[in-house]
Amino acid sequence: MCLGIPMKVVKIEENLGIVETGGVKRRIFLDLIDDVKEGDYVIVHAGYAIHRIDEKEAQENLDLIRQYLSATELS
Amino acid sequence: MKHIDEYRDEKVISGMASTISRRKAAKPLKFMHVCGTHENAIARFGLRALLPEWIRIIAGPGCPVCICPTEDIDLASQIALEKKAAIVTFGDMMKVPATDGSLFDVKSSGGKIHVVYSPSDAVSMARENPYEEICFFGVGFETTAAPVAAAILSRPPDNFSMISSHRIIPPALELLLNRDDVAIDGFILPGHVTTVMGYSEYEDFPKKYGKGVAIAGFEPADVLLAILNLVEQVIEKDYKVFNCYRRSVTREGNRLAREAIQNVFEISDSRWRGIGIIKNSGLKLRTEFQKYDAVKKFQLRKEKESIDLNPGCLCHLIMIGKIEPPECPMFGKRCTPEFPYGPCMVSSEGTCRLHHGL
């Protein structure tokens, strides 16, 4: 049920979107998220996007990994 | 691929694994995750082999297919066979053993069973086949309940109904935390359940139970980061809810998804297969959506008691993390992915299935 991977939104028509990852395309519903546009990455579950990945949050996540690693390596 | 490759970086993974190995807690540690997709990631990327022997990662009741009570599968079978309605469900439900066999057996006996990827597919089937009764058998946690709620809010036609076997995670964790026989040093929270619901519900846990909680995504770096953080929490004796999955999870969660769940469902006491009834752990349709309730629509009479576990099956102990799959005498012998004897051997999210090999 849960793919758990982010997919890129390549097309939007009202509450429907086409998402793509690794060449696989799928039609999904966008009823459960706001402000999505073509080019965004979303997390899909059971045919519905449940989260739009915000660039700032994504960067924060990577920074967390780097900071955490360097901090614990020093201790 | 963006948002994936960064979390599979070999240097990051080995760096994290060696950082974890260099830390030393005063005692061996046992962390529990509550998500079939976590168990899948741990098995697929061989993460247990990267961890020092003093850390054990065990699976809790996080596979929705495994914890779905037999009585609900029996009900679906009865609807298909006696009422000649089409049961529409997720593929993982097909082979799950129930009292008189699985849904796959029902299909072999002439019952109409269809597999879909999304609850919206079941609604489309009802619209496209107005003279046929379509009954969606919905299983899953908060992450699945949200799409199901959205599908119900699209106002399916009158020939659509559903069995709601949805469960919510926090009451199950509290149950485990209150048991003396399941000693857990911290929880790895399910990333997508928390994406939907946020993590405010867990904020009492660290103080109340003295356990760390880390929210993890599903890539190897995500899972290792959560483990590293939990080890730190134990060493520092500073327990909190730590969000390791910031690209998907916020404290408040997904407002629209939460509202959809709240508008369609209300909380109920519900049975978890092999565990029993957990107070306030299920979701049933609200009064205004009762016309979609398959139990009411088909007025079925229960003819006999449902049997959750076959004799000798130890899935109930596996689901609460008390034993691991190889400790079950059935594992890999009488119980295999081809011929599952217990529910944990069926789904690609099931602990036994994943221990047995993908």
Question: What is the pTM for the complete model shown?
Answer: 0.95
Looking at per-residue confidence, does B153 or A72 come out higher? B153
Tell me the three state secondary structure of residue B168.
coil
d(CA A38, CA B225): 31
Q: Give mean pLDDT, residues B32-43.
A: 94
Q: Give mean pLDDT, residues B324-344.
A: 96
- Partners of residue A57 in chain B, C-beta under 8 Å: 246-248
Query: What's the pLDDT score for residue A22?
Result: 87
For chain A, what is the largest distance between any 2 Cα atoms, rounded to a whole number of angstroms? 52
- Partners of residue A50 in chain B, C-beta under 8 Å: 143, 146-147, 192, 195-196, 254, 257
Q: Report the residue of chain A nearest B64, measured CA to CA.
A: A1
**Residue A3: pLDDT band by 50, 70, 90 thresholds?**
low
Query: What's the pLDDT score for residue B300?
Result: 86
- Partners of residue B349 in chain A, C-beta under 8 Å: 1-2
Q: Give mean pLDDT, residues B45-72.
A: 95
Give the tokens for residue B69.
Answer: 């009570």
| Nearest CB to B254 within list A41, A46, A50 | A50
d(CA B93, CA B143): 17
Put simply, whether B160 touches A (Cβ < 8 Å) is no
d(CA B171, CA B274): 16
Give percent above pLDDT 70 in chain B. Answer: 100
pLDDT at B205 over 80: yes
Put simply, whether B105 touches A (Cβ < 8 Å) is no
Query: What's the pLDDT score for residue B25?
Result: 85
Residue B209 CB-density burial (10 A; 0-12 exposed, 13-18 middle, 19+ buried): middle
Sole residue written with tokens 């139990």: B295
Q: Read off the pLDDT of residues B220-267 as tens digits, 9 standing for 90 and up.
A: 999 999 999 999 999 999 999 999 999 999 999 999 999 999 999 999
Q: Do B2 and A29 touch (CB under 8 A)?
A: no
d(CA B148, CA A48): 9
| Nearest CB to A46 within list B2, B119, B154 | B119
Put simply, whether B260 touches A (Cβ < 8 Å) is yes
Put simply, whether A39 touches B (Cβ < 8 Å) is no
Q: Do B37 and A68 touch (CB under 8 A)?
A: no
Q: Do B143 and A50 touch (CB under 8 A)?
A: yes
Task: Detail the DSSP E strand segments found in B168-209.
Answer: 186-190
From the CA of B323, how many Å to the nearest CA of chain A?
26
Tell me the three state secondary structure of residue B87.
strand
Identify from B2, B3, B165, B234 which residue to disrupt to test chain A contact, counting A C-beta atoms within 10 A and taking the largest count: B3
pLDDT at B191 over 90: yes
Query: What's the pLDDT score for residue B67?
Result: 96
Find the helix or strand (DSSP H, E) in which B212 lies: strand B212-216
Angle (CA) B182 B68 B150, round 5°: 115
d(CA B161, CA B312): 35
d(CA B52, CA B356): 22
**Residue B7: pLDDT band by 50, 70, 90 thresholds?**
very high
pLDDT at A72 over 80: no
d(CA B8, CA B6): 6
Query: What's the pLDDT score for residue A4?
Result: 67
Give percent above pLDDT 90 in chain B. Answer: 94
The neighbouring-strand residues paired with B186 are B31, B212
Among the ranges B130-134, B173-177, B321-325, which has the highest mean pLDDT value?
B130-134
Put simply, whether A60 touches B (Cβ < 8 Å) is yes
d(CA B94, CA B113): 9
Q: Read off the pLDDT of residues A48-60 as tens digits, 9 standing for 90 and up.
A: 999 999 999 999 9
Q: Do B218 and A43 touch (CB under 8 A)?
A: no
- Partners of residue B10 in chain A, C-beta under 8 Å: none
Put simply, whether B150 touches A (Cβ < 8 Å) is yes
d(CA B265, CA B250): 23
Q: Report the residue of chain A nearest B148, measured CA to CA.
A: A46
d(CA B199, CA B204): 10
Find the helix or strand (DSSP H, E) in which A68 lies: helix A55-74
**Residue A75: pLDDT band by 50, 70, 90 thresholds?**
very low
pLDDT at A2 over 60: no
From the CA of A13, how many Å to the nearest CA of chain B?
16
Q: Do A4 and B37 touch (CB under 8 A)?
A: yes
Q: Read off the pLDDT of residues A19-40 as tens digits, 9 standing for 90 and up.
A: 999 899 999 999 999 999 999 9
Say how far residue A8 (Cα) sits from the centre of its chain.
7
Q: Give mean pLDDT, residues A61-71.
A: 88
Contact assessment for residue B222 and residue B12, using Cβ atoms and an 8 Å cutoff:
no
Q: Give mean pLDDT, residues B4-16.
A: 93
Put simply, whether B244 touches A (Cβ < 8 Å) is yes
Query: What's the pLDDT score for residue B106?
Result: 98
Q: Read off the pLDDT of residues B91-143 as tens digits, 9 standing for 90 and up.
A: 999 999 999 999 999 999 999 999 999 999 999 999 999 999 999 999 999 99
Instruction: Tell me the residues of chain B between 204 and 243 that have a Cβ less than 8 Å away from chain A.
Output: 217-218, 221, 225, 228-229, 232
- Mean pLDDT taken over chain B: 95
Q: Which residues contact B18 (CB under 8 A, 6 or more apart)?
A: none
Instruction: Tell me the residues of chain B between 9 and 48 that have a Cβ less than 8 Å away from chain A.
Output: 12, 15-16, 19, 23, 36-37, 41
Q: Read off the pLDDT of residues B260-286 as tens digits, 9 standing for 90 and up.
A: 999 999 999 999 999 999 999 999 999
Query: What's the pLDDT score for residue B183?
Result: 86
Q: Which residues contact B245 (CB under 8 A, 6 or more apart)?
A: A61, B191, B194, B195, B215, B216, B217, B222
For chain B, what is the largest distance between any 2 Cα atoms, rounded to a whole number of angstroms? 66
